[in-house]
């Protein structure tokens, strides 16, 4: 269970106080899929960065299984992030000099996993995502959809409990975007991964079990 309680985020820009998130209360159940929708500037990406512990709220709490993770020292928080949370972004952020296999293995190697085990896991995930014939290809040799699937494989290498996807189809054509959306749903259902997707894509949002809308930093609707 993920629980947000009166969570707010404020930025100071050129001396002006900008409230991006305003007193959010939200529960995300283990294993569910949630779409977060809203216009640009509504706070969607800020919310997903806080859910991923990449950013801290200004006030309020974020509870994972009733533990306030922002009370933890940074080292413990980083370990939690690496082990429990996978990230997929609109721009895949693959390292251009490394192959699909090497990019996928990277988080496991950073975590200290033995190279043989990391390779075995990476090969299995890439195979599951239909990339068996692309393991030795570098990002520049892959299509946009293939690059995004490698990014998804990298997000899954540590077998996370939570997958956070920020506009995962935003840089793809509609057909490829639909394919990526289907893979996300399959991962949520087959692995019981808690899935949170920020999207402008109404078709992807409808594939999630639940949606919330953000407007001016507040939750505008639940569906």
pLDDT value of residue 149? 86
Helices 174-191 and 144-156, interaxial angle, to 10°? 20
- Kindly give, in sequence order, each residue whose CB lies less than 8 Å from that of residue 79, ignoring residues fewer than 6 positions away: none
- Kindly give, in sequence order, each residue whose CB lies less than 8 Å from that of residue 175, ignoring residues fewer than 6 positions away: none
Instruction: Give the pLDDT mean for 46-53.
Output: 93
| Position 156 pLDDT exceeds 90 | no
15-31 in b/e form (b: 16+ CB < 10 A) is eeeeebbbebebebeee
Please report the DSSP string for 83-122 in residue order: HHEEEEESS----TTS-HHHHHHHHHHHHT--HHHHHHHH
pLDDT digits (tens, 9 = 90+) for 170-210: 777 777 788 778 888 888 888 889 999 999 888 889 989 99
| Position 124 pLDDT exceeds 80 | yes
Please give the backbone phi and psi of residue 20, each rounded to the nearest 5 degrees, phi first: -90, -40
Instruction: Give the pLDDT mean for 91-117.
Output: 90
The domains of the chain, with CATH numbers, are: 2-222 (3.40.50.300)
pLDDT value of residue 129? 83
Please give the C-alpha separations between residue 155 and each of 28, 92, 105, 212, in angstroms, as whole numbers: 20, 10, 10, 24
pLDDT value of residue 116? 93
Please give the backbone phi and psi of residue 196, each rounded to the nearest 5 degrees, phi first: -120, 125
pLDDT value of residue 67? 93
pLDDT value of residue 201? 85
| Position 13 pLDDT exceeds 90 | no
pLDDT value of residue 144? 84
Contact between 80 and 2 under an 8 Å Cβ cutoff? The reply is: no
Best-predicted range by mean pLDDT among 12-16, 62-66, 89-93?
Answer: 62-66
Task: Work out the pLDDT band at 222, boundaries 50, 70, 90.
Answer: confident
Contact between 34 and 211 under an 8 Å Cβ cutoff? The reply is: yes
């Amino acid at each position: 269970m993920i629980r947000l309680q009166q969570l707010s985020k404020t930025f100071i820009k050129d001396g002006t106080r900008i409230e991006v998130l305003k007193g959010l209360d939200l529960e995300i159940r283990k294993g569910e899929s949630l779409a977060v929708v809203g216009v640009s500037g509504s706070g969607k990406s800020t919310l997903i960065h806080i859910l991923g512990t990449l950013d801290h709220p200004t006030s309020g709490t974020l509870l994972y299984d009733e533990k306030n993770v922002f009370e933890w020292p940074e080292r413990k928080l980083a370990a939690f992030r690496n082990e429990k949370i996978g990230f997929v972004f609109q721009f895949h952020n693959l390292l251009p000099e490394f192959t699909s296999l090497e990019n996928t293995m990277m988080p496991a190697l950073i975590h200290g996993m033995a190279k043989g085990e990391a390779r075995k896991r990476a090969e299995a995930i890439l195979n599951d995502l239909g990339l068996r014939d692309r393991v030795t290809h570098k990002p520049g040799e892959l299509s946009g959809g293939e690059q995004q699937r490698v990014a998804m494989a990298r997000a899954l290498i540590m077998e996370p409990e939570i997958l956070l996807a920020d506009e995962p189809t935003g840089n793809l054509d509609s057909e490829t975007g639909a394919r990526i959306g289907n893979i996300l749903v399959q991962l949520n259902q087959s692995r019981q991964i808690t899935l949170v997707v920020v999207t402008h894509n109404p078709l992807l949002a409808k594939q999630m079990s639940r949606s919330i809308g953000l407007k001016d930093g507040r939750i505008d609707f639940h569906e």
